[in-house]
Structure 1
Amino acid sequence: MQATRRVLVVDDEEGMRATLAANLELEGYEVVEARDGAHALALARQQRFELVLSDVKMPGLNGVETFRELRRIQPGLTVVLMTAFAIEKLIEEGIGEGVYAVIYKPFSMEHLVRIVARALESRPVLVVDDLPDVAEMIVAGLRAAGLRAEAAYDGYTAIQRARDETVDVCVLDLVMPALDGVKTYEQLRRTSKQIRVIAMTGHAPPEMIHAFTSRGGYACLHKPFDVRELMHAIARARSDPGSC
């Protein structure tokens, strides 16, 4: 029997904490509540958590500062942020340092529960590029920022991984031999409606990019790109209700 997953909910609003805790407990999680960032850090020193769900705007330590300190206490801890405010610079910092996803208030509890469940599955980001050095470089950048990431070098491997349900987000090069990115994407979507796909390209023709986006592809990044740009695309994909 699988052990109960322990989730820490951090919010200075007691009513919001209670609502979140009640809904997560109905899903079978063990929930611990923290009234602010300092309280969350004290709890993290006493017990292990599988996931932290934290508000961003709080008195004292904000959610991103809390995230940083929690990661020092429990390295690799999965953190999802919630916010009702347009504090993009702060949120960008958190995403660039490895926050799993950001949920914007108001949100449905169904959406929240889906993101929590997906985050707890701990599936990696799969980077697919027929140039191994490129794929491994991107994977190394994501891992350095605290994300789980793995590499594949062709579309067929990506499709098999999707069948095995071992992929969270797929980052897919569009121009590849044998099976190009658009054809790979089409098969990925037939295999799994849950997978979110981000394309990347250095020289794909405009019609190929259009074919990808018009079929529902999430985003297309143009090489060379900074790993933080990719991390923001990944976090947005994870936070999108359509990706859950």
Structure 2
Amino acid sequence: MTTAAPAILVVDDEPDACRNLADIFTDLGYRVDTAPDGPAALDLVRKFPYAVALLDFKMPGMDGLELYREIKRLRAGTVAIIVSAYTSLATRDAALGAGAWRVLSKPVDLPRLLGLVDEAVGQPLVLVVDDDPDLCATLWDLFRERGFRVCIAHDAADAAERMGTGPFKVVLIDMRLPAGDGSAVFRMVRESCPDAHTVLITGHREELGDLVHEVLRAGADAVCYKPFDVPGLLDTVGRLSRDEPAGGDSHA
């Protein structure tokens, strides 16, 4: 099966900047879309998932930081690099605090930018399927700090839509979801992304014990119980992202 070219979104109100970056990244084999402002960028994001978004900080109307917050809400798996001629410590702290990955100054150091985009695209892609927004936000922060790209889904329908944005290395599946249980999501992952590793997560250890063991027998790689042993969870996901065995403790 042919792997789709990684997709990059370039957002800048300077047409020449968009055109130059689009030409460079297209020549390097990326799929590139450009937008002159925040609203146009969000129209594209709603239609298509991007691995990386290069966002000018200073734009009329919606600035790059506000735009990234909306992109993160819609497509949490998009890695953001903010580019600005007005970089300050406050700007950098605000951008990184909102979840942007890097902040670069204009004029852009092109070799550094190319290296960062290549690094971002190569980060393992993780999907978290859980109906608790606060937990999803916490896991997003934890996994991003360790170099994963992280997509979020809150139910089976969300998960089905996200599966088309892969390829995922690891999928974490809450075993109790608003409409049904995680076993249906597990089966969907096996059908849609058979190379993905799966980690079952649940706070209902006794109540869902039989179902958990059934899905483990069907091929899930591990189960991690809430409240999480965070180092253990991170170790499990890290091992699976490298195609290593999850480790015995992950089933405890």
Contact 2:51 2:77 in 1 (8 A): no
Q: CA deviation at 1:142?
A: 7.9
Q: Note closer, same or farther for the CA distance 1:146–1:82 as it changes in structure 2 (3 Å cut).
A: farther
Counterpart of 2:58 in structure 1 is 57
- AA aligned to 2:35 is A
Read off the aligned partner of 2:71 and give its amino acid letter.
L
1:117 and 2:118 equivalent? yes
Instruction: Please tell me the residue identity of whatever aligns with 1:10.
Output: V
For residues 91 and 58 of structure 1, what CA distance do their matches in structure 2 show?
A: 16
Are 1:144 and 2:122 an aligned pair?
no
Partner of 1:34: 35
Say whether the 8 Å CA contact 2:7–2:31 is kept in structure 1: yes
Instruction: Provide the secondary structure at the position in 2 that maps to 1:31.
Output: strand
Q: How many residues align?
A: 135
- Partner SS state of residue 9, structure 1: strand
1:73 matched residue in structure 2: 74
Instruction: Judge conservation of contact 2:8–2:33 (CA < 8 Å) in 1.
Output: yes
- Cα distance per residue 1:63-114 (max 9 Å; x no partner): 1100000011112321111111134323311101211111111123222111
Equivalent pair of 1:23/1:109 in contact (CA under 8 Å) = no
Q: Using CA pairs below 8 Å that are at least 6 residues apart, which structure has the higher relative contact order?
A: 1
Match of 1:93 in 2: 94
1:90 counterpart letter in structure 2: T
Identical aligned residues as a percent:
31
Deviation at 1:141, TM superposition (A): 6.7
When residues 145 and 17 of structure 1 are mapped into structure 2, their CA distance, relative to the original with a 3 A threshold, is farther
Q: Is the 8 A contact 2:81 2:102 kept in 1?
A: yes
- Indicate the residue corresponding to 1:107 in structure 2: 108
Shift in CA distance, 54/82, structure 1 to aligned 2, threshold 3 Å: same
Q: 1:129-153, CA deviations, whole angstroms, 9 ceiling, x for partnerless residues?
A: xxxxxxxxxxx97843661528xxx
For 2:88 and 2:60, the matched residues in 1 are separated by: 15
Amino acid at match of 2:14: E
